[in-house]
Amino acid sequence: MSVNYSRENHIGFVELNRPDKLNALNHELLLNLKHGLSEMLEDPQIEVVVLTGAGNRALSAGGDVVEVYETGKERGAYPRDYFHLEFEVDKLIEHTDKIVLSYLDGITMGGGVGLTIGGDYHIANEKTKWALPEAILGMVPDVGVGTYISKLPQAYGLYLTLLGPTLPGNALISLGLATHLISSNDWDNIVRELKEADIKIGNQAQNRKIIEVILDRYKAPLEPSFLSDIHEELMIHFNYDTLEETVKSLGESDTAFAEETLEGLRDRDPVALQLIFYKYFEGKKWSRDLCFEMDELILGYCYDHGNMKEGIRARMVDKDNDPRFTPSTIEEVDIDEIREVLKVPKSL
């Protein structure tokens, strides 16, 4: 089965089970989750849901973009139904009144972030690798995650989505994107204590206290993350009103960070980068439900008019790492068109 389910002590355990694919979210897995997770979240005997990934390497590497590419190629059309299904699953966690714990064990990227970010407790460890790398594929971070990113300070929100750096657990804690940092060696003990805890039906406040006492008992020492080392440069380069100004600022600096960051931006899809830049500001006005709706439309634009197909082909299918993005520079992107794409239709 692509998802394993079990129950004990009013706790539902949900394990994504495609370890050979880093628990990537393909259509089969998402359909399984939609039905199995819905049933669990509607069960009056379940108070807490724990979400994990099989294989000890990843919670989830994100959406199965190769399947998306192949499905779209076969149909000759944007596979909107895949993204709609993915967002339906994410909404289950966003809107449930159950307590949801996600164990960010290893790789947690893209769709894996979207699946977990709407929950209550996000538990990272020393192996956590969290990222939103969509721009390198000609895509925009979707799954409604923009609602959370837009709440971060501008420099951080833009850096995380334009560049998609891999964040360790301590960086997630510093940004408020994880609630607890533990040693992976302690996870089995946490699960054992949760199963033995006095979880009661209908007493959510007390259940939260019990969970927090258990999690706090296993908190690992928190060291400063690499983000503290680059904070000043982030403030210098990522607080402009346009992406062009950010690129200009980076180009005028001779630091290693500036050079590497500028090279990273040049390696990404210019259309996606401009969408990401302006979406950060528009997203401040969106609820997560509206963000889901807009993400479907934005991804459709990336597929039909942007570089999603080419990005996935070059990075994940042919793996030649030589995408032919059109246009090839951010300066050539039609900003009026980008702003139009980000306008909320009256129908929404």
Tell me the per-residue pLDDT of 310-337, one tens digit each, with 9 for 90 and over: 999 999 999 999 999 999 999 999 999 9
Q: Which of 318, 329, 346 is nearest to 70 (CA)?
A: 318
Whether 348 has a pLDDT exceeding 90, the answer reads no
Residue partners of 12: CB distance under 8 A and separation at least 6:
5, 6, 40, 41, 43, 46, 48, 49, 50, 98
In the chain, what percentage of residues exceed pLDDT 90? 99
Distance in angstroms (rounded) separating the CA atoms of residues 216 and 193: 12
Pair 44, 97 in one domain = yes
Structure confidence at residue 67 (pLDDT): 96
Q: Answer with the one of 217, 236, 268 that is the final residue of a domain.
A: 217
Predicted pLDDT at 121: 98
In a domain, 346, yes or no: no
Q: Is residue 160 part of a domain?
A: no
Q: Is the pLDDT of residue 229 over 90?
A: yes
For residue 183, the model assigns a pLDDT of 98
Percent share of the chain, pLDDT over 70: 100
- Quickly state the pLDDT bin for 212 (edges 50, 70, 90): very high
Q: What's the pLDDT score for residue 210?
A: 98
- The mean per-residue pLDDT over the stretch 162-179 comes to 98
Same domain? 281 vs 208 = no
At 92 the pLDDT is 98
Please determine, for residue 23, whether its predicted confidence score (pLDDT) is greater than 90. Answer: yes
* 336 and 244 within one domain: yes
Q: Average of pLDDT values for 232-243? A: 98
Decide if pLDDT at 215 tops 90.
yes
Same domain, 191 and 310: no
| The last residue of a domain, from among 217, 243, 271 | 217
Band of residue 112 on the pLDDT scale cut at 50, 70, 90: very high
308 lies in the same domain as 332: yes
Mean pLDDT of all residues belonging to the chain:
97
Structure tokens at 270: 């210019």
Question: Do 127 and 232 have their domain in common?
Answer: no
- Is residue 136 in a domain? no
Q: Is 307 exposed, middle or buried (0-12, 13-18, 19+ CB in 10 A)?
A: buried
How far, in Å, CA of 251 to CA of 267, rounded? Answer: 15
DSSP conformation letters of 303-324? HHTSSHHHHHIIIIIS------
Give the range of the structural domain holding residue 48, as residue numbers without chain letter.
3-131+183-217
The mean pLDDT value for 165-174 works out to 98
- Are 290 and 203 contained in the same domain? no
325 with 267, same domain: the answer is yes
Distance, in Å, from the CA atom of 160 to the CA atom of 158, rounded to the nearest integer, reads 5
Q: Are 212 and 96 within one domain?
A: yes
CATH of the domain at 19: 3.90.226.10
**CA 214 to CA 179: how far, in whole Å?**
13
45, pLDDT greater than 90: yes
Please report which confidence band the pLDDT of residue 156 belongs to, taking 50, 70 and 90 as the band edges: very high
Residue 283 Cα to chain centre, angstroms: 15
What's residue 1's pLDDT? 87
3-state secondary structure of 1: coil
pTM for this prediction:
0.96
Tens-digit pLDDT profile for residues 51-87 = 999 999 999 999 999 999 999 999 999 999 999 999 9
Q: Domain boundary at 217, 236, 269, which?
A: 217
